[in-house]
Chain A
Amino acid sequence: MKELIENKLRNQFPQAILEVSEFRGDLTFLVDKNFIVEVCKFLRDDPELSFNLLVDLCGVDRAKRKDRFEVVYHLISIKNKYRLRLKVRVDEKDCEVESLTSIFPTANWHERETYDMYGIKFKNHPDLRRMYMPEEFEYYPLRKDFPLLGIPGSLQLPKR
């Protein structure tokens, strides 16, 4: 299965697949962020692979100067009982990724959560609001530079 996916992806998108790795049986592809929508569409629609369930989508703050963030996608093929992880790297200066909502509607809330927690914007997202934090909140709490105890005054309390 692993070789099949890798060969198909490499044939279809020769420039998009930057890295392949495997750790504890989890297969991971590092994908160029400009190709992520096409790659996911191909993985979903290919009859042999049919990765039709997007289980999870989240951000990771690597706290590096270049390519600070990662967006991680977990796909499942219900037919083949196989799990796959895709990753894209996002730079802080160009903090935008194409939204997956057109292919997997379930990405909607996951992307809102990622935006809420990391400030990664998703292009063409239908409703990019904060998921958990209040609308007026100005920070991104899961970034590594956000202190654990919070920032005093960042949450508005009701007036007495």
Chain B
Amino acid sequence: MNTPQEQSPYKSKILETLLTKATDVIIEDTLENGMVLNMGPQHPATHGVLRLLIHIDGETVIGCVPELGYLHRGYEKIAENSTYHEFIPHTDRLDYLAPLSNNTAFALAVEKLAGVEIPKRAKYIRMIISEMARIASHLVAIGTMAMDVGALTVLLWAFREREKLQDIMDLLTGARFTTSYTRIGGVASDWTPQCTSMLKDFLEHFDENLNEMEKLLNTNRIFLERTEGIGVISKEQAIAMGLTGPNLRATGVDYDVRRAFPYLDYENIDFNVITYTEGDSLARYWVRCDEMRESTKILKQCLEKMPEGEILAHDPKNVLPKKFNVYTKMEELIHDFMLVNFGLNPPVGEVYLSVENPKGELGFYIVSDGTGYPWRLKIRSPSFVNLQSLPLLIKGHMVSDIVAIIGSIDPVMGEADK
């Protein structure tokens, strides 16, 4: 089906692209032998199965072509062949470091399409799990970035903190990572007093522990020299390249989906949007640290404001009924049968809804033809778009800076490859 290409001297298209298209930086007075270096897909510093073809001149990178698709599982095709409820477990596997916020994003998108209004308590639980996922994901980001430049202790300390959050998620959802916690119209299980006490315990010590972690890095000469001024991107370039999330805010753009297009109950919560203006790897690290502090603020407010009440909306045509009622009542049994077998019936139309994920703006674009299956479901994944600016950031730097830059962008390949 492809048009036949004219005969090319290169064996593969990716090599041809690297050698003919991505070489507009010319650095004189280095060793004159240009060389192609293949990094990944199996490489500890690429955070998954990212493959980079790097054109180097001596130690200096003059061109870079990322190659994706090693983790491509065809989720958009799977989505077209499964009901909305069936697709929730697949969203866990997108950004596998923050599955709870993916669940939230997908449920919100379907609720917008079907016009379901969820109870206030469910909104607050969803906000709490999103912020918990944000802290957990940023901890991994900081830990792995520090490890990539040689500071292993930070990784261990970050994982120690994250483990406490995973325990809460385990208690709440029954799983540490494959949570599948949200339902269309609410959440699967209620927030318990034990969760509250565990979260309060975590919050009590977290600021102190984060400060300790930062002390290891903020005055560390090796860390500062390897990140400061490395991988700089300007405000205009960042917007043009479509960066979102902490990477965009590190360049000074004040754009956070929680503030720009408030969802859940974020408009009633008091928090700051963190921005730095340097746009380098160090600024991206700082944004993540400060965002975790903002997240703890949000968590504290949520715990205070969380009302009592239902966790699932009462909307029999769209929301799965409680299991007890399915077994004891006729009407609920019929609704359950219809929802499980044919799915909910949203109106014909298309919606786009995005949330602020730890990595950036995660969006779901759903085209519905009125049946229980989405006609088209597009996942706008932040890591995919953020990775696109990688060649721009790497160009002109040393080979050893590549790992620091990838660590500071914080891609997750499960999401970039869908």
**In the complex, chain B residues whose CB is within 8 Å of the CB of A110:** 385
- Count of interface residues, chain A, beta-carbon cutoff 8 Å: 43
List the one stretch of A3-11, A12-20, A34-42, A101-109 in contact with chain B.
A101-109
**In the complex, chain B residues whose CB is within 8 Å of the CB of A106:** 240-242, 385, 388
Residue from the list B69, B77, B367, B388 in contact with A108, Cβ < 8 A: B388
**In the complex, chain B residues whose CB is within 8 Å of the CB of A105:** 240-242
CB of A144 to closest CB in B, whole Å: 8
B239 pairs with A78, CB closer than 8 A: yes
**Using a CB-CB cutoff of 8 Å, which residues 223-279 of chain B contact chain A?**
239-242, 244, 253-255, 260-261
**Using a CB-CB cutoff of 8 Å, which residues 53-112 of chain A contact chain B?**
53-56, 58, 60-61, 72, 74, 76, 78, 81, 83, 85, 104-106, 108-110
**In the complex, chain B residues whose CB is within 8 Å of the CB of A78:** 239, 253-255, 260
CB of A31 to closest CB in B, whole Å: 16
B21 pairs with A126, CB closer than 8 A: yes
Q: Which residue of B lies closest to A106 (CB)?
A: B242
B113 pairs with A139, CB closer than 8 A: no
B113 pairs with A74, CB closer than 8 A: no
Give the interface centre of A104, A132, A133, A139 by most chain B CB atoms within 10 Å. A132
B74 pairs with A131, CB closer than 8 A: no
**Using a CB-CB cutoff of 8 Å, which residues 2-46 of chain B contact chain A?**
2, 12-14, 17, 21
**In the complex, chain B residues whose CB is within 8 Å of the CB of A81:** 260-261
**In the complex, chain B residues whose CB is within 8 Å of the CB of A104:** 240, 242
**In the complex, chain A residues whose CB is within 8 Å of the CB of B241:** 105-106
Residues 338-357 of chain B, each 1 if its beta carbon lies under 8 Å from chain A, else 0: 00000000000111101000
Q: Does A129 contact B (CB under 8 A)?
A: yes
> Count the A-B residue pairs with Cβ separation under 8 angstroms: how many?
104
A133 pairs with B352, CB closer than 8 A: no
A70 to B113, alpha carbons, bound, how many Å?
20
A108 to B77, alpha carbons, bound, how many Å?
22
CB of A139 to closest CB in B, whole Å: 7
Q: Does B280 contact A (CB under 8 A)?
A: no
* 19 pairs of residues in contact across A and B, judged by CB atoms under 8 Å: A23-B350, A53-B255, A56-B352, A56-B363, A58-B365, A58-B376, A58-B378, A60-B367, A60-B376, A72-B378, A76-B260, A78-B253, A85-B352, A104-B240, A104-B242, A106-B240, A127-B17, A129-B14, A141-B74
Chain A residues near B (Cβ < 8 Å):
23-24, 26, 28, 52-56, 58, 60-61, 72, 74, 76, 78, 81, 83, 85, 104-106, 108-110, 117, 119, 126-127, 129-135, 138-142, 146, 148
Additional A-B contacts beyond A56-B363, A132-B72 (16; CB < 8 A)? A23-B349, A54-B242, A56-B352, A58-B378, A74-B352, A78-B239, A81-B260, A83-B261, A109-B384, A109-B385, A129-B17, A131-B68, A131-B69, A133-B72, A134-B69, A135-B14
